[in-house]
Amino acid sequence: EVHNEGGSKRVVVTKELPGERWLKLLTQADCRVEVSKHPEVITSKDTIKKLIGSQCDGVLGQLTEDWGSELFSALQKAGGSTYSNYAVGFNNVDVGAATESKVSVGNTPGVLTETTAELAVALTMAAARRVVEADSFMRAGKYEGWLPTLFVGALLQNKTVGIIGAGRIGAAYARMMSEGHKMDIVYYDPYPSKKLEEYMKGYGELLKSQGERPVTCTRVETMEEVFKAGDVVSLHCALDEKTKHLADKKMLGMMKEDAILINAARGPIHHEEDLVAHLKANPNFRCGLDVFEDEPHMKPGLADCANAVIVPHIASASQWTRSGMATLAAANIAGRLQDFPVWDKPDM
Ligand code: DGY
């Protein structure tokens, strides 16, 4: 589908995007916008090369596409100078290869923070209180009356949340969990999160002034300490060599027998086969996963684990965030191609 036929710069958008502002923005920046109508998730580089064609100034692409040297040099050959990833995550983008091809790269930070953290909270609550299992039980017509032992789960109040990676999303999740459930925070991050620590200090003082137990926030030196201490451990780090398979047999083995592991970051941060084995061997252990090691596939056995809550990479899927991501991704391109003063427009 082509918008603004006569635009002076050709921009390819590999998937339809929500909202309208992103398109208005690119149109105002004098871009001819071509939106691919490809029905499936595009995984083939050849399909993307066809979309780029022989002349293309910029591409707005998806995290399911492998943006490495092959695609960046195809874009450079077509005269392109910019690529914008419709995601905050960068693990599908080889920034070095982009630099070599003189292509600038953008992403969509900021607008996903609260939405993603909220989904991580939803997974935590669903896992703790066995919401999905109980829902399936109801739908299967198995409910025969109230019982003291029916779907007994875990209370989070006053317990400890472990955070791996206290960046924007990790800190927002920590705040929501602590404030919602008066939980202590133990976190690992190479950099201290001043924002989180100050917030927790203030919240702790408020609780104290009300005669309640003040919450604590502790930054620890190793990830092991987080896995050992957490009643819940939530992964919020980027995927790289250091974090790949971080939650493996060894680390899972250090966790409390009835702990909850949450991953709404990137699938390969957990070792999925080890996780399935751990879930099977420890029925009181639970997990909430938004992401999988080999998306869109799940490792064998995961779907049979009633103690796992599993959703299809929807952490950023609120209407506000998804259209905000589109606007930001388009702004990255408009700003680069036309020096377009995107944030000065009163109608933005
Ligand atoms: C991202 O942006 O990296 C999310 O995984 C998808 O919204």
- Averaged over 109-137, what is the pLDDT? 97
Give residue 30's pLDDT. Answer: 94
Q: Is the CB of 330 under 6 A from ligand 1?
A: no
pLDDT bracket for residue 39 (50, 70, 90): confident
Quick check: CB of 267 below 6 Å from ligand 1? no
Q: Ligand 1: which residue has its CA nearest to atom 4? A: 87
The ipTM assigned to this model is 0.95
Residue 341 pLDDT grade (very low, low, confident, very high; cuts 50, 70, 90): low
The confidence band for 343, taking pLDDT boundaries of 50, 70 and 90, is low
Residue type, 71: L
Same-domain pairing of 197 and 292? yes
Pocket test for ligand 1, best of 62, 64, 88 (most atoms within 8 A of CB): 88
Residue nearest to atom 2 of ligand 1 (CA): 87
Q: Which two tokens stand for residue 185?
A: 């925070």
Same domain, 208 and 234: yes
Do 12 and 151 share a structural domain?
A: no
Do residues 174 and 187 lie in contact, with contact meaning Cβ atoms separated by under 8 Å? yes
Among 111, 116, 168, 236, the mutation site with the greatest number of ligand 1 atoms within 8 A of its Cβ is: 116
One domain for residues 202 and 340? no
The average confidence (pLDDT) of the chain is: 95
Between CA 218 and CA 192 the distance in angstroms is 10
Atom of ligand 1 minimally distant from the CA of 86 = 2
Considering only CA atoms, give the Rg of the chain: 22
- C-alpha 150: how far from its chain's center? 33
Buried b (16+ CB within 10 A) or exposed e, 295-307: eeebbeebeebeb
63 lines ligand 1 (CB under 6 A): yes
The reply to whether 49 and 97 lie within a common domain is yes
CA of 155 to the centre of ligand 1 (A): 30
pLDDT band for position 347 (cuts 50, 70, 90): very low
Residues 204 and 271 in one domain: yes
**Per-residue confidence at 348, pLDDT binned at 50, 70, 90?**
very low
pTM above 0.80, yes or no: yes
Q: In the chain, what is the greatest distance between 2 CA atoms, to the nearest angstrom?
A: 69
Say whether both 167 and 70 belong to one domain.
Answer: no
* 292 & 187 share domain: yes
User: What string of H, E and C letters represents the secondary structure of 259-321?
Assistant: CEEEECCCHHHECHHHHHHHHHHCCCCEEEECCCCECCECCCCHHHCCCEEECCCCCCCCHHH
Give the model confidence (pLDDT) of 292-306 as tens digits: 999 999 999 999 999
Q: Are residues 300 and 336 in the same domain?
A: no
Across 326-345, average pLDDT: 81
Domain count, the chain: 2
Taking Cα atoms as reference points, which of 153, 126, 155, 130 lies closest to residue 306? 130
Domain match, 228 and 84 both = no
Tokens found for residue 157: 């109040």
Structural domain of 330: 2-111+318-344
Residues 293 and 328 in one domain: no
Can you give the CATH number for the domain in which 332 is found?
3.40.50.720
Q: How far apart are CA 171 and CA 165, in angstroms?
A: 8
Mean pLDDT, rounded, for 218-222: 98
Q: Which residues are catalytic?
A: 266, 295, 313
For residues 142 and 87, give the distance between their C-alpha atoms in angstroms, rounded to a whole number: 41
For residue range 142-187, what is the model confidence (pLDDT) as tens digits?
999 999 999 999 999 999 999 999 999 999 999 999 999 999 999 9
Q: Are residues 199 and 295 in the same domain?
A: yes
What Cα–Cα distance (Å) separates residue 83 from each residue in 63, 100, 102, 156, 217?
12, 13, 10, 43, 39
> Per-residue confidence at 340, pLDDT binned at 50, 70, 90?
low
Q: State CA 308 to chain mean position distance.
A: 18
Q: Which of ligand 1's atoms lies nearest the C-alpha of 265?
A: 5
